Amino acid sequence: MALRNIVKDGDDILLKKCRPVTKFDKKLHTLLDDMAETMHHARGVGLAAPQVGILRRVVVIDVSEQQNQVLELVNPRIIAYSGEQEGNEGCLSFPGEWGVVKRPNYVKVRAQDRFGEEIELEGEALLARAFCHEIDHLNGVVFKEVADRMLTRKEIEEMNA
């Protein structure tokens, strides 16, 4: 496993639509392993492939306290959602920036695992938010575009206090 560089705000790759994964091979497994390591190292709860410069529909998420429950989603799509939550959202590609983003409170996702098997996952609260945020990345959508507003420096200081 290896750490990959995280693409930062200003790089056009974050605004591009990703292509589906068609080969569930060693290269994909290495990408998934590297993405999980990179996400944990950066203390994030999710990472999408374009954030490491790869325009493929691949996402890793880990909302666990211990950072030891990685979810791997290949070619994910939202098949059901309900409710609403409003909360602060950040992104490893936009360090230090936070926005107020409305998301569904419940999200159900259909995807493939690293071997190409169909899987379904569902989540509420932070996990539902992470599904939406990361799948947006695969469509070239960053959270700043869907935020109702960005937090001020003072609000961020208070949040971190």
Residue for token pair 């954030």 = 51
Closest distance of CB 70 from Co ion, Å: 16
Percentage helix, strand, coil for the chain under 3-state DSSP, each rounded to 5: 30, 30, 40
Closest distance of CB 115 from Co ion, Å: 26
Is residue 65 flagged as an active site residue? no
Which residues between 89 and 128 bind Co ion (CB under 5 A)?
A: 91
Q: Please give the size of the binding site for Co ion, defined by CB under 5 A.
A: 1
CB nearer Co ion, residue 91 or residue 107: 91
Please give the distance of CA 46 from its chain centroid, rounded to a whole number. 4
36 binds Co ion (CB under 5 A): no
CB 92 within 8 A of CB 47: yes
CB nearer Co ion, residue 26 or residue 149: 149
What phi, psi does 113 have (nearest 5°)? -90, -175
CB nearer Co ion, residue 24 or residue 144: 144
Which residues between 54 and 93 bind Co ion (CB under 5 A)?
A: 91
CB nearer Co ion, residue 98 or residue 106: 98
Closest distance of CB 91 from Co ion, Å: 3
Closest distance of CB 46 from Co ion, Å: 7
Give one DSSP letter per residue of 31-71, joined into a string.
HHHHHHHHHHHTT-SEEEGGGGT--BSEEEE---TTS---E
Which residues does the annotation mark as catalytic?
134
The residues that touch Co ion, with contacts defined as CB under 5 A, are: 91
